[in-house]
Amino acid sequence: MSLTKAEKQSIIDLANMARQRAYVPYSKYPVGSALRTKAGKIYTGVNIENAAYPQTMCAERVAIFKAVSEGEMEFEAISVVTDNGGSPCGGCRQVMAEFGLDTIVLMADGNGNLVKETTVKELLPEAFTPEKLVNK
């Protein structure tokens, strides 16, 4: 099932609104994300920083972990919204890959404009996926 333009814009807008709740006292770079499951449920996330910098958590992973912790693992699309339309970091790409290489990734800027539409497969070629583990 593919998403309509309005459905794509909706997860961009939800991520952009969530961005207001980003906790970013150090970078001042708020990121918002919204994850849409195959069943149409939506989970949002924001980046949450920490005085011990490496403990920071990215917005995309917050959204994914919220979904997985609620029993949802089949994803249709994920949006990531930043001031400048930045792309997901390597760690988030790896976490996305765990749950499917075909998930659509929408990157948008702070005005809610789509900057790039791609897939996890394109963002992380030759991904290390669960199937690669021999003793899975």
24 binds ligand THU (CB under 6 A): yes
**Which residues are registered as beta bridge partners of 9?**
none
CA dist 19 and 33 (Å) reads 8
Task: State which of residues 14, 60, 67, 105 lies at the interface with ligand THU (CB under 6 A).
Answer: 60
Number of residues located near ligand THU, criterion CB under 6 A: 13
The one-letter amino acid code at 43 reads Y
**Would you say 42 or 64 has its CB closer to ligand THU?**
64
Q: Is 74 a catalytic residue?
A: no
- Which CB sits closer to ligand THU, 25 or 131? 25
> What would the two tokens of residue 21 be?
């709740």
Residues 42, 78, 88, 107: which binds ligand THU (CB under 6 A)? 88
CA 89, 90, 92, 93 dihedral sign is positive
- Is residue 103 a contact point for ligand THU (CB under 6 A)? no
Tokens 């149409």 label which residue? 40
In the beta sheet, which residues pair with residue 75? 37
Exposed/middle/buried for 110, CB within 10 Å: 0-12, 13-18, 19+?
A: middle
- Smallest gap, in angstroms, from Cβ of residue 31 to ligand THU? 3
Interface with ligand THU (CB under 6 A): 24, 27, 29, 31, 47, 49, 56, 58-60, 88-89, 92
